[in-house]
Chains A and B, each alone.
Chain A
């Protein structure tokens, strides 16, 4: 233990006693030696104060402050300190003065006051500091929560690949644009955009490059249409929302900006992945529309743009849309119509130009639509062919025709054959031959009383299947006719290979026979007839409307005629009346 400069060994004795008294009163962040050293210094201060004149009570405060600052800061430490000073300081330091008791009491009072004050300040400081820390921590936690909520919200409303708004956010904004404050004149526009043939990029370069091309497209789009919202709906489909449009021109301008931005070359990893895009534009007043309406309209319009070859925009056309929608509805109603027996057949005679007898009748399908009345085939057969429903419908027509025709009898002995149209899809369908064979067996109709009419285009196929099927059908004894001959490619090669029994010449050649000087049509017809006869085929002329036409056809050598002149399509009993 180092002795103080004035060499009083008693200071060390007292300081050691003091250190022992306060040790363990609270955690003291120092070694015992450091504690003794500190207390020795404070002992000297106290001793000097007690000797000095006048008595400086500030020394008592200073000692107290130093104790608390050194973390000798507890109620217990104060009590022990007061006790040890009171008991030992005067004695250990051998302090002599008349009023020493009095001076010590006053100095101790100052120490106690100073200590209590310092301890209180320290407590208040620490309380403030921990409260501030708690507030900071809470604020940080709340901030983190808000940030994570914002991040979560961003994730939920943005596409992870392109970081564009996703369908969810777009739907929200569109709904707000349409429903929010629907001021009478407000207008809104949509550009529904789709990259043309983008699948090829993925197929050729892989999805990784495809994805990067999408990211590049998204970035350009966003920049090109700012400040309008552009969202990725999925795949390569994007949509731009034009709020507060002032007219179609606004939205067209946005679409053109988008198309221009996308047409700039894009190179990813050295691959040119430049793509074009198609845009469906719809722009209308907010009043009276809905987000669903808008999206559906924009989607249909996009298909028009695609159908027109892509790389451009199309503008919504309400009339075209309602037309297409009506067709769509009609097509969708075909299966139910079949089920409910709404379809029926009329028949039109194919009449011999030699003796006026009815050689055959062509079955023509009708639809007694519950709402639209009786529909002719031209209003629904095209639809049925597009959708593939023709297979089902054609099958029904064939079966119904066979079923009805089997009961027909003729006074002359040979009842007429029934001629039924076969669509391309029906001919290409495997199982056609078995189906027809089973049908004939079931109905009992002799095969030579059935004629199947196919179009030239049916034969325009590289596939062997239809040819094989037709050969098999012909082998059963069924007649095969080429419908509308002369209007298609009129490829004569198949006439060589196919078991065709008859050519039906299109009505437009016959129409020309009305005028006396229509030599070209007459010569074509004459050539067709002689060609057909040379191949052992019969010829039926379609669209015969007048007696004059019939007369000239007979003169040319045509075998049969069909048309209003010989009888309009009619229910089967009308036909039956004619052949009896």
Chain B
């Protein structure tokens, strides 16, 4: 785990540094971003031209996964690394089909959290907390989380497009194990993350360089590693794949899937 600041020394807000949440919003075509974010995002696009497409494909994966979970009867969602709530948020997708669905958004970025609070004001089936994915115990113990989600019932934990900001030193497998330990059988885990499978070495290095300037450097991983993160879960079809290949709506939308760079999958806790 990274060294935590003592609780009497809160983090300061620095909008002079690019935020990965606002860069992601920019890739998705949103305007919830500042000049510094757009500059970083454009540098990323210069290095990896398909970056916006990656974000869109990942967002579409999230939409299909939540739709799948809603269809599977899941009514509780814990979205960790939710970022800027731009378009197609989990609660919008889930509550459209099942209005009783409850969603807790978790993000480390205080601006993203403040923005989420504003967007979600008045929706009493959602909550937002500022917390670090790397502190799963704190997330699970958070009173707002406990008030919104009933962990004696299945919960879907979404760790989408965020794991690549968790370094190996921060032991992502242990983080996921801690989250899994709070879940009852029938719960789900949704993962996606940037992958280096079949990537061009220069392109990857340049992308990493861009993210080094943010508070969240990039850690790309391969399919085997990502599959390992589902330890304890049974992967639903089609397993860990390039995100456009995960239950595509049309056959064409799964073409050139590896260009999306993101691998993703959904696992169900059996038993």
**Once the chains bind, are B32 and A129 in contact (CB under 8 Å)?**
yes
A-side interface residues toward B, CB under 8 Å?
Answer: 24, 26-27, 29-33, 71, 73-74, 122-123, 126-127, 129-130, 132-134, 136-138, 140-141, 144-145, 148-149, 151-152
Shortest Cβ gap from B203 to chain A (Å): 21
List of B residues within 8 angstroms of A24 by Cβ: 53, 56
Kindly identify which residue among B7, B13, B87, B118 contacts A129, using a CB–CB cutoff of 8 Å: B118
Q: Does B2 contact A (CB under 8 A)?
A: no
CA distance A484 to B70 in the complex (A): 106
Kindly identify which residue among A129, A136, A138, A148 contacts B9, using a CB–CB cutoff of 8 Å: A148
**Once the chains bind, are B7 and A148 in contact (CB under 8 Å)?**
yes
**Once the chains bind, are A126 and B32 in contact (CB under 8 Å)?**
yes
Which residue of chain A is the closest to B52 with respect to CB atoms?
A: A26
17 contacting pairs across A/B (C-beta < 8 A): A24-B56, A26-B52, A27-B88, A29-B59, A29-B92, A33-B249, A126-B31, A127-B32, A130-B84, A130-B111, A130-B115, A134-B13, A134-B111, A134-B114, A138-B15, A141-B10, A148-B9
List of B residues within 8 angstroms of A140 by Cβ: 110, 114
- Given the interface pairs A24-B53, A148-B8, the reply to whether A29 lies near B88 with Cβ below 8 Å is yes
Q: Does B74 contact A (CB under 8 A)?
A: no
Listed stretches B22-30, B155-163, B171-179; interface member: B22-30
List of A residues within 8 angstroms of B10 by Cβ: 141, 144-145, 148
B-side interface residues toward A, CB under 8 Å?
Answer: 7-13, 15, 22, 28-34, 52-53, 55-56, 59-60, 63, 84, 87-88, 92-93, 110-115, 117-119, 249-250, 253
CA distance A571 to B115 in the complex (A): 98
**Once the chains bind, are B31 and A29 in contact (CB under 8 Å)?**
no
List of A residues within 8 angstroms of B31 by Cβ: 122-123, 126-127, 130
List of B residues within 8 angstroms of A130 by Cβ: 22, 31-34, 84, 111, 115
Residue of A29, A130, A134 contacting most chain B CB atoms (<10 Å): A130
**Once the chains bind, are A32 and B110 in contact (CB under 8 Å)?**
no
List of A residues within 8 angstroms of B115 by Cβ: 129-130, 133
Shortest Cβ gap from A147 to chain B (Å): 8
CA distance A73 to B253 in the complex (A): 20
Q: A134-B15, A134-B34, A149-B8 are in contact. List 17 more A-B contacts (CB 8 A).
A: A24-B53, A27-B88, A29-B88, A31-B63, A32-B253, A71-B29, A71-B88, A127-B32, A130-B33, A130-B84, A130-B115, A133-B115, A134-B111, A138-B13, A141-B13, A141-B110, A148-B8
List of B residues within 8 angstroms of A148 by Cβ: 7-10
List of A residues within 8 angstroms of B22 by Cβ: 130
Shortest Cβ gap from B23 to chain A (Å): 12
**Once the chains bind, are B249 and A27 in contact (CB under 8 Å)?**
no
CA distance A134 to B250 in the complex (A): 39
Which residue of chain A is the closest to B60 with respect to CB atoms?
A: A27
**Once the chains bind, are A27 and B111 in contact (CB under 8 Å)?**
no
**Once the chains bind, are A133 and B114 in contact (CB under 8 Å)?**
yes
Shortest Cβ gap from B192 to chain A (Å): 15
Which residue of chain A is the closest to B11 with respect to CB atoms?
A: A141
**Once the chains bind, are B92 and A141 in contact (CB under 8 Å)?**
no
List of A residues within 8 angstroms of B60 by Cβ: 27
Shortest Cβ gap from A157 to chain B (Å): 14
Residue of A33, A134, A151, A152 contacting most chain B CB atoms (<10 Å): A134
Which residue of chain B is the closest to A144 with respect to CB atoms?
A: B10
List of A residues within 8 angstroms of B111 by Cβ: 130, 133-134, 137
Kindly identify which residue among A27, A32, A127, A133 contacts B56, using a CB–CB cutoff of 8 Å: A27
Which residue of chain A is the closest to B30 with respect to CB atoms?
A: A126
CA distance A138 to B63 in the complex (A): 31
List of B residues within 8 angstroms of A132 by Cβ: 118
**Once the chains bind, are B92 and A137 in contact (CB under 8 Å)?**
no
List of A residues within 8 angstroms of B88 by Cβ: 27, 29-30, 71
List of B residues within 8 angstroms of A134 by Cβ: 13, 15, 34, 111, 114
CA distance A32 to B60 in the complex (A): 11
CA distance A32 to B184 in the complex (A): 34
List of A residues within 8 angstroms of B112 by Cβ: 133
**Once the chains bind, are A71 and B87 in contact (CB under 8 Å)?**
yes
Shortest Cβ gap from B75 to chain A (Å): 20
- Given the interface pairs A32-B250, A123-B31, A141-B110, the reply to whether A136 lies near B55 with Cβ below 8 Å is no
**Once the chains bind, are A133 and B253 in contact (CB under 8 Å)?**
no
CA distance A129 to B52 in the complex (A): 22
**Once the chains bind, are A29 and B32 in contact (CB under 8 Å)?**
no
List of B residues within 8 angstroms of A149 by Cβ: 8
**Once the chains bind, are A27 and B13 in contact (CB under 8 Å)?**
no
**Once the chains bind, are B114 and A27 in contact (CB under 8 Å)?**
no
- Given the interface pairs A33-B249, A74-B29, A152-B8, the reply to whether A137 lies near B53 with Cβ below 8 Å is no
**Once the chains bind, are A133 and B118 in contact (CB under 8 Å)?**
yes
**Once the chains bind, are B29 and A26 in contact (CB under 8 Å)?**
yes
CA distance A32 to B117 in the complex (A): 30
List of B residues within 8 angstroms of A26 by Cβ: 28-29, 52, 56
List of A residues within 8 angstroms of B9 by Cβ: 145, 148
